[in-house]
Chains A and B, each alone.
Chain A
Amino acid sequence: MSETSEQNDAVGHDEHPPWLAHHFDTPDQQAASAKLGMWTFLLTEILFFSGLFCAYAVFRRNHPEIFFDGHHFLNTALGATNTAVLLLSSFTMAWGVRCAQLGQRRGLIVTLTATLLCALVFLGIKYTEYKVKWEHHMVPGQGRIEALFGVQPEGEGTVPGEPAPRGFHPDIEYVVEHLREADQEAGVRVIAESVYQAELEQRAQYLGTFFGIYFCLTGLHAIHVICGIIAITWILRRAVRNEFSPQYFAPVDCVGLYWHLVDLIWIYLFPLLYLIH
């Protein structure tokens, strides 16, 4: 850590640049504190997500078949595209930090804008993915959310006059059809159609576990992307105002670290949710 400063021995505030907070002696100390603080924050973020990864691991370990069924409903091509988009945004962000270190204001503005665009593309693709699920009533507690917007509860599991039910109440025909196709592709031979149909309907119900975890994981990740967009917009604004210099770019550095963590989490989410064999 920084037991660095050879200057500013006294408590006085001589030669404090405006961006150096009063309680720090040297720029090094301030930058090291910001960095350590950010890494510590990332540690808490990882442990924040750990609960969801734990739920994922427990349910996948004990019910692998639900996850195998569930992944058929996710579009691998879109997931892979989103991975690439997020990796690109990470690259432009790292480039942006490099620009900040070198004092290249224009480069910083361009790379941050590119990062923002990538983030928006990511959310756009995520939106189209969510939209398909929404149309087939595959969001757990969807009726509750619709009720918030004044939609009358209808469909599976609703009782007239009662509030919309919690839990997973999908468009069962669509889900069964989809599962049947997936089975056909895998070469499953059906012996007794009526038994098979009942089994498919049961499997459709069990998918609630998969989609519960899917929406929690990707939803929480999407919230982090939105926070990242806000943070990047904030440093972009400061970059436009020319507030950074090769001596002071810790905010860019820290927002960059946060953004890379968002990317890092997606790097794990993609194979865990989309690429189930």
Chain B
Amino acid sequence: MQHETSHVNDAHHYDDHAAGVHVVPLQVLAGIFVALLALTYVTVAVTSIDLGSFNLWIALGVATVKGALVVLYFMHLRYDSPFNSIVFITAFVFLFLFLGIVIMDSVAYQPAVYELTPTP
């Protein structure tokens, strides 16, 4: 996919557009949409193949690729102010911090939960 963006305000007066506005060509948007549909098909199809624990990671990987396409092109983050990218990435850093520590701890205390659970 060629990511060309047209700068609409090139030929116009300075104030015609807010600065940094990039109009994504329709072909790019359509291409992304087709790619997203294809990836949806892939992720459904791959589920029927037994890959053990890899199935989960493949599903998450495909979802992340799809998400990245949406964020970069549909949400214009690729052309946007870098600080907006920082904001967005920060959300995921803290998401992983939260999930990571809680999962680590819950796995570590599970044996204690079973010890305390009365057996019927």
What is the interface of chain A, defined by CB distance below 8 A to chain B? Answer: 1-2, 4, 27-28, 30-32, 35-36, 39-40, 42-43, 46-47, 50, 53-54, 57-58, 61-62, 76, 80, 83-84, 87-88, 90-91, 93-95, 97-98, 101-102, 246-247, 250, 256-257, 260-261, 263-264, 267-268, 270-272, 275-277
19 intermolecular pairs with C-beta atoms under 8 Å apart: A1-B81, A32-B19, A43-B87, A43-B88, A47-B91, A50-B98, A54-B102, A57-B99, A76-B47, A83-B40, A84-B37, A91-B30, A91-B33, A101-B23, A102-B23, A257-B75, A260-B70, A267-B70, A270-B63
Residues of the B chain whose Cβ atoms lie less than 8 Å from the Cβ of A47: 91, 94-95, 98
- Let me know if B95 and A46 touch, CB within 8 A: yes
Known: A98-B26, A102-B8, A271-B60. A80 touches B44 (CB 8 A): yes
Residues of the B chain whose Cβ atoms lie less than 8 Å from the Cβ of A46: 91-92, 95
Residues of the A chain whose Cβ atoms lie less than 8 Å from the Cβ of B26: 95, 98
- Let me know if B87 and A40 touch, CB within 8 A: yes
Q: From A56, which residue of chain B is reached at the shortest CB distance?
A: B99
Q: From A81, which residue of chain B is reached at the shortest CB distance?
A: B40
Q: From B36, which residue of chain A is reached at the shortest CB distance?
A: A87
Residues of the A chain whose Cβ atoms lie less than 8 Å from the Cβ of B59: 271-272, 275
- Chain B interface mostly: helix
Known: A267-B63, A267-B66, A277-B50. A2 touches B99 (CB 8 A): no
Q: From A76, which residue of chain B is reached at the shortest CB distance?
A: B44
CB distance from B19 to the nearest CB of A (A): 5
Known: A57-B103, A91-B33. A4 touches B40 (CB 8 A): no
Cβ of B78 under 8 Å from chain A: no
Number of CB contacts from chain A to chain B under 8 A: 156
Known: A36-B84, A102-B23. A94 touches B15 (CB 8 A): no
CB distance from A184 to the nearest CB of B (A): 17
Cβ of B119 under 8 Å from chain A: no
- Chain A interface mostly: helix
What is the interface of chain B, defined by CB distance below 8 A to chain A? Answer: 8, 15-21, 23-24, 26, 29-30, 32-33, 36-37, 40, 43-44, 47, 50-51, 55-56, 59-60, 62-63, 66-67, 70-71, 73-76, 80-81, 83-84, 87-88, 90-92, 94-95, 98-99, 102-103, 106-107, 110
Residues of the A chain whose Cβ atoms lie less than 8 Å from the Cβ of B76: 97
Residues of the B chain whose Cβ atoms lie less than 8 Å from the Cβ of A83: 40
Residues of the B chain whose Cβ atoms lie less than 8 Å from the Cβ of A62: 106-107, 110
CB distance from A123 to the nearest CB of B (A): 19
- Let me know if B18 and A31 touch, CB within 8 A: yes
